Structure 1
Amino acid sequence: MHADAPVTTALAQYVADAEARQLPADVVERAKLHIIDALVAMISGATLRPGRLAAAYALSRGGVGESTIVGHGARTNPELAALVNGMSAHADETDDVNDLARVHPGASVVPAAVAMGEALDRPGSSLLAAVAVGYDVACSVNIAAWRSLPRMQKSMHSPHGIGQAFGAAAAAASVARLPMDQHRYVLSYTAQQVSGISSFYRSPDHIGKAFASAGMQAHSGVRSVEMVRAGFTDVSDVFDVSPHAYDAFGEDGDPGRLVQELGTTHHVMTTDIKQYPVGMPIQAPAEALERLLHEHGLTADDIESVEARLPTHGSRLVNARSMPDISLQYVLAVMLMDGRLTFDSAHDYRRHEEPETREVMARIQLVPDETLDPPDDPDPAARRTRIATVNIRTYDGRRFSRHVDAPRGSRHNPMSWSRIADKAHMVLDGVIGPKRVDTLTETIRDAERLTSVRQLRDHLDVHR
């Protein structure tokens, strides 16, 4: 280890050793779940406006390479493929979330790993190792960059723009099998590209959000690796010698804490998968409402009012938003009207504005509730942040209530393979058909048997 750059060297070594490191069986299985979840988001997102625009942009650049533009079947260089597929993965709110680090790791790490895996013709085992190390780096960098989670939540600098860039770079560098010195250069070039302010929360149509929350980071991470592979060199101490990375972003960042984080927690295990293709703060209230409707046989015609109580931070993100899939009032209204939520109904801008929908939305009140805010627990992983209480009052005076503090898919209540398959069918049956959905999930379930990531290509083209 370089005595004058112990943190940068430790991080670089952790990435360099990823493919040789023996992962626990449960970590491998969870990595597969997050890969399939990200691919579902990429394929469905390719049909939405952010994904379509990103693909058109890349195709207009005329890039040549072996990396697939998901949904279109065309191939380009890995940088452009990572950009497009990252934007498709976060073209809506289908992708995963890590609340301890405030990142959408799958939307940047998986596109980067797949793009490089195709470009370099790597096996499925390389993909699994790259995704696992990418999640670790994305989350560890952020957890060490801020003094506390509340500070991170209030930051004007987007945590997505920081951790996900390093996570994507780590995944791509692992696939590239770089020499140790070059891993340090990758970290330096990635640090120079870290960007993002939280203005994307005001994005009216998810296009800027898709770039700032996923595509930019996937592109930057792969670009760092490709530049270093082309012979670019730089400093080897970007996390050690001031001015260093944590001088520029985060708040009271602790490089030493970054080293402590690495390897102590596998962050695919701490990352939440959404059961519904909507914003993460809506997961718990949607589950609570769905259970109440089914248990008591209620419909919109029965219900006078719905009160959804959420932690204060999540409430700000999903209160009466203009985008249907991150508007709590819209999502719950659709569930009241239809008895369920589908991918199409979650993204129906026209229905969002219809008078009938608006009338039901008016019955739904979102209440920020400080008593649901997570305590400042000494063990951050113990915090339960996906919490909601839903209270229903019917026209005939009945009252029902349901509290959910660990919705399906959260780290405290992980998804099973059958649940992830159900989600894949809900999102993709109308896009690629149920038979291809089954084949896709079965292929990723046996990912270590893939002799090449290029074997995924047939699954990634919407029009095949």
Structure 2
Amino acid sequence: MTIGRPAHQPSTTSNDGTVAVARHIAAAAERELPAPTVAAAKRAVLDAFVAMISGSRLEAGRLARRYVASYGSRGEASLVGDGGLVRPELAALANAMSAHADETDDVHDLARMHPGASIVPAALALAETEARSGRDLLRAVVLGYDVGCAVSVAAWGSLEAMQKSYRSPHSLAQPFGAAAAAASLAGLSHDQVVHVLAYAADQASGFTSFYRDERHLEKAFSSAGMQAHSGVRAVELVRHGFTAVDDVLDGTPSVFDVFGAGGSAAAMVDALAGQHYVELTDLKRYPVGMPIQAAAEATEYLLAERPFGPADVVALTCRLPPHGARIVDGRHMPDIHLQYVLAVIVADGGLTFESAHDYARRRGADISALMERIELLPDPGLDGVIDGHLSSRRAVVEVRLRDGTRLERRVTAARGSRLRPLDWDEVCAKARRVLGGGIGPDAVDALCAAVAGLEQVADVRQLRPVLTPAPR
């Protein structure tokens, strides 16, 4: 008697989709990019570098470097913020966990992933190991965003389906994006990339329990570090002669049979044919969780329109789309605690990296008293398509003051979202806001200048001084 499912038979389906994606990846190093795409890639790289440097000083970044150091390995890939050189897959792991040690890094609304936190560390690790140029790095990053986002969009088909799934889109999209970027920089042939895709799929795993992680350690691993490490490891395995199935996107079962809701290789190929996804990525203006961005912007707007302080506030009500409201309601970490963030903005007139990460202040009596007057309400009316655009980066903030004044500000697309993207100067301003207190303005300016001139960098290893700045 046979127990369980019968053994899988060899697939009789075509592998056209897998081959098409592999060819797309293998050809990326020679593919010219439009100027707007290059500009978006530079913004994404700078934003990721800022998250890596700042996160290297946070708990997840420190623990990741300690873990990597225990291996005692030597390589040519940098530990950002540290200066040590290790094997590429270990550098990718540690730098990715630093990048997502908090919520400073970018997100992609349509693909439900943190692309910069895993794809840029993976690309940096291979670019250093292979002594690639800044131009090569930019092309690999664009490719990684394209492949990672395309597999997620193809798998789920809609933002609503992704939000309802217990399977994590990060766990599917980001290993593929990291592997694609790494494979391009490693110079693999399309036949080799077919096998890389299989190993990326083998390592795609995870579900959304990490939202309950109070210290952001599991989340740093399961939403960034694991994927960067998996992507680079897939490339390293193939470079050492490992082979795998050649139809992981098409065969039965395929990755789309496991993740998503009715996706297909054909849908992924179609998703790769449009606008580059790096141009559609949300960069956070504030170093806090993405669902808070629109609310923080609305609160700052109201303060500028009619200045008020904590003593003036009778009540502050914030309405968010339901999914985002669940993520940031009364959380342990200050930078994903909406009531705390808005209370600090009201008390200080703005937000700094230090105030967004201040656990002691979150527990303080004055801020706690103000937080009790801040109510967060999930509002289904803020979900879906509004004004012809699909987005979850919305908020309505209403303030009632003791003199009877009532203020309201609605933000239908947060500054930094794909509908209102940050320009280069704004990303540099964010870098100063996040890093200035830690490494000083001169070091921040040097970092911005280095990324602005990436196309002229002959060897990415030349970036090491700006990625390991001395503490101020």
Question: Shorter-chain TM-score: what band?
Answer: over 0.9
Tell me which residue corresponds to 1:140: 150
- 1:72/1:463 contact within 8 Å kept: no
Tell me which residue corresponds to 1:122: 132
Report Cα offsets for 1:182-237 as digits up to 9, x if no partner. 00010001100001110000001001110011000000000000111111111111
Taking the aligned partners of 1:369 and 1:156, their CA distance within structure 2 comes to: 22
* Structure 2: runs of 5+ lacking an equivalent: 1-11
Taking the aligned partners of 1:3 and 1:307, their CA distance within structure 2 comes to: 55
- 2:13/2:250 contact within 8 Å kept: no
Tell me which residue corresponds to 2:4: none
* 1:367 maps onto 2:374 in alignment: no
Taking the aligned partners of 2:133 and 2:249, their CA distance within structure 1 comes to: 31
Taking the aligned partners of 1:376 and 1:191, their CA distance within structure 2 comes to: 35
Tell me which residue corresponds to 1:27: 37
User: Tell me, what secondary structure is at the counterpart of 1:307?
Assistant: strand
* 1:346 maps onto 2:346 in alignment: no
- 1:431/1:462 contact within 8 Å kept: no
* 1:288 maps onto 2:298 in alignment: yes
Counterpart code for 1:327: H
Taking the aligned partners of 1:297 and 1:461, their CA distance within structure 2 comes to: 40
- 1:13/1:180 contact within 8 Å kept: yes
Change (3 A) 1:449 1:49: same
Taking the aligned partners of 2:311 and 2:240, their CA distance within structure 1 comes to: 64
Shift of 1:63: 1.3
User: Tell me, what secondary structure is at the counterpart of 1:61?
Assistant: coil
Tell me which residue corresponds to 2:439: 432
Report Cα offsets for 1:227-260 as digits up to 9, x if no partner. 1111111111110110111112222122211010
* 1:330 maps onto 2:340 in alignment: yes
Taking the aligned partners of 2:357 and 2:449, their CA distance within structure 1 comes to: 27
Partner residue of 1:409 out of 411, 416, 421? 416
Partner residue of 2:183 out of 173, 197, 211? 173
* Structure 1: runs of 5+ lacking an equivalent: none
Write the mapping of 1:56-455 to structure 2, written as runs, cut at 5 A: 56-375=66-385, 382-455=389-462
Change (3 A) 1:251 1:376: farther
Shift of 1:4: 2.4
Report Cα offsets for 1:396-450 as digits up to 9, x if no partner. 1100111111221110111111111110001011222110100110110111100
Provide the alpha-carbon RMSD of the alignment: 1.4
Taking the aligned partners of 1:15 and 1:383, their CA distance within structure 2 comes to: 29
Range with greater deviation from structure 2 (194-203 or 250-259): 250-259
Range with greater deviation from structure 2 (447-456 or 382-391): 382-391
Taking the aligned partners of 1:332 and 1:119, their CA distance within structure 2 comes to: 43
User: Tell me, what secondary structure is at the counterpart of 1:41?
Assistant: helix
Tell me which residue corresponds to 1:53: 63
Write the mapping of 1:4-23 to structure 2, written as runs, cut at 5 A: 4-23=14-33
- 1:42/1:70 contact within 8 Å kept: yes
TM-score (ref. length: structure 2): 0.96
Counterpart code for 1:115: A
Taking the aligned partners of 2:27 and 2:289, their CA distance within structure 1 comes to: 35
Report Cα offsets for 1:1-57 as digits up to 9, x if no partner. x99211101111111111111111000000000000000000000000000000011
Shift of 1:384: 2.5
User: Tell me, what secondary structure is at the counterpart of 1:391?
Assistant: strand
- 1:16/1:174 contact within 8 Å kept: yes
Taking the aligned partners of 2:283 and 2:329, their CA distance within structure 1 comes to: 21
Taking the aligned partners of 1:72 and 1:31, their CA distance within structure 2 comes to: 24
Shift of 1:376: 9.7
Counterpart code for 1:285: A
- 1:428/1:437 contact within 8 Å kept: yes
Counterpart code for 1:333: A
User: Tell me, what secondary structure is at the counterpart of 2:278?
Assistant: coil
Report Cα offsets for 1:364-389 as digits up to 9, x if no partner. 00111111111399x8xx31321111
Counterpart code for 1:393: R
Shift of 1:79: 0.3
- 2:250/2:264 contact within 8 Å kept: no
Taking the aligned partners of 1:334 and 1:366, their CA distance within structure 2 comes to: 15
Percent of residue pairs identical: 53
Change (3 A) 1:398 1:376: closer
Taking the aligned partners of 1:253 and 1:441, their CA distance within structure 2 comes to: 39
Taking the aligned partners of 1:443 and 1:57, their CA distance within structure 2 comes to: 29
TM-score (ref. length: structure 1): 0.97
Taking the aligned partners of 1:218 and 1:67, their CA distance within structure 2 comes to: 13
Range with greater deviation from structure 2 (148-157 or 105-114): 148-157
Taking the aligned partners of 1:356 and 1:460, their CA distance within structure 2 comes to: 38
Taking the aligned partners of 2:37 and 2:310, their CA distance within structure 1 comes to: 42
User: Tell me, what secondary structure is at the counterpart of 1:457?
Assistant: helix
Q: Provide the aligned length of Structure 1 versus Structure 2.
A: 460
Report Cα offsets for 1:302-330 as digits up to 9, x if no partner. 11111111111111111111111111001
Counterpart code for 1:299: G
Taking the aligned partners of 2:158 and 2:53, their CA distance within structure 1 comes to: 35
